[in-house]
């Protein structure tokens, strides 16, 4: 008897176990494939991938041009592609424009570059307010957008997936590509944070 279940199972636990066991019995799923998927999105596919794309764009002007013109192809050059990122558009933060991403209708998010979305991105408060009060939302994230700067909110209502190319902070001129990638956070590629130079 497994010691992992010396307590009653929660409702979702019961339902998931029931579904999985039924589907296995019917020969429809292989649980080891599910294990592999979980491992993939827990350890392999994540924001560290997007950070490499950003660092490359910061250090290679031609790459950046390709990235902004044909997102999927350029991201694919670095080996990132596929599920929930088959058709990507990268939008650039500049001194004039600040971009922020949302999916008001569900949770669409660029998995190949950022992995799976955080809970707050998928929950009602962010989805409701990002389109109508982006500056208020950004302020809650600690980002104060100057009044004369334009904010663009990208609502992923179709199958195109977006990613923000954040601004490279001052004081990073001497860093190499890998060191730059280490600075790039998931939140900066959603547009709810700025990349900070090392202290």
Partner 1 sequence: MDILTPELVPVIVANGASTRVESDLEGRFKIGDEIIVRNINPEGHTRLPQYLRGKRGTVKRDHGVFVFPDSNAHGKGEQPQHCYSVRFSNVELWGREGSPKDSCIVDVFDDYMDLQ
Partner 2 sequence: MNGIHDLGGKHGVGKLEVEEDEPVFHHEWEKRAFGLFFGVAPHGFFNLDEFRHSIERMGAAQYLNTTYYEHWLHAYETLLIEKGAISAEEYAARCAEVAAEAS
Q: Which residues bind partner 2 (CB under 8 A)?
A: 5, 7-10, 12-23, 26, 28-30, 33-35, 37-38, 41-42, 46, 104-107, 115-116, 118-120, 122-129, 131-132, 137, 140-141, 155
Closest among 155, 173, 31, 37 to 102, alpha carbons compared: 155
Which residue pairs from 59-63 have beta carbons closer than 8 angstroms and sit at least 24 positions apart in sequence? 59/177, 59/180
DSSP, collapsed to helix, strand or coil, labels residue 79 as: coil
Q: Does 142 contact partner 1 by CB under 8 A? A: no
Closest CB to partner 1 among residues 13, 35 = 35
Among 68, 78, 116, 160, binds partner 1 (CB under 8 A): 160
Q: Is 108 an annotated catalytic residue?
A: yes
Are 87 and 113 in contact by the 8 Å Cβ rule? The answer is no
Closest CB to partner 2 among residues 26, 174 = 26
Query: What's the start-to-end Cα distance of the chain, in Å?
Result: 53
Q: Is 107 an annotated catalytic residue?
A: yes
Q: Which of 21, 81, 95, 106 is catalytic?
A: 106
Q: At what angle do helices 11-25 and 31-39 cross, to 10 degrees?
A: 130
Which of the choices partner 1, partner 2, none does residue 78 contact, using the CB cut-off of 5 to 8 A by kind? Answer: none
Q: Is 72 an annotated catalytic residue?
A: no
Closest CB to partner 2 among residues 63, 141 = 141
Closest CB to partner 2 among residues 49, 168 = 49
H helical segments located in the chain: 11-25, 31-39, 47-59, 61-69, 71-77, 111-114, 119-122, 124-132, 134-140, 177-183, 186-190
Q: Is 103 an annotated catalytic residue?
A: yes
> Can you tell me the distance from the alpha carbon of 42 to that of 59, in angstroms, rounded to the nearest whole number?
28
Which of the choices partner 2, partner 1, none does residue 150 contact, using the CB cut-off of 5 to 8 A by kind? Answer: partner 1
- Residues marked active site are found at 103, 106-108
| Site of interaction with partner 1 (CB under 8 A) | 27-30, 32-33, 35-37, 40, 45, 81-87, 89, 104-105, 112, 131-135, 147-160
């Amino acid at each position: 008897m497994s010691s992992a279940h010396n307590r009653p199972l929660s409702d979702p636990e019961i339902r998931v176990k029931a579904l999985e066991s039924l589907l296995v019995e019917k020969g429809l799923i292989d649980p080891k494939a599910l294990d592999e998927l979980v491992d993939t999105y827990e350890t392999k596919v994540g924001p560290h991938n997007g950070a490499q794309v950003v660092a490359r764009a910061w250090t290679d002007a031609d790459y950046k041009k390709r990235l902004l013109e044909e997102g999927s192809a350029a991201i694919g050059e670095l080996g990132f592609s596929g599920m929930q990122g088959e058709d990507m558009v990268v939008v650039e933060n500049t001194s004039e424009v600040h971009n922020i991403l949302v999916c008001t209708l569900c949770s669409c998010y660029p998995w190949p570059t950022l992995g799976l979305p955080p809970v707050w991105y998928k929950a009602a408060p962010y989805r409701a307010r990002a389109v109508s009060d982006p500056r208020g939302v950004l302020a809650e994230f600690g980002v104060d957008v100057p009044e004369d700067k334009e904010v663009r909110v990208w609502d992923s209502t179709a199958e195109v997936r977006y990613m923000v190319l954040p601004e490279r902070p001052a004081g990073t001129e001497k860093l190499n590509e890998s060191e730059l990638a280490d600075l790039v956070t998931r939140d900066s590629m959603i547009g709810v944070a700025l990349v900070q130079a090392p202290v």
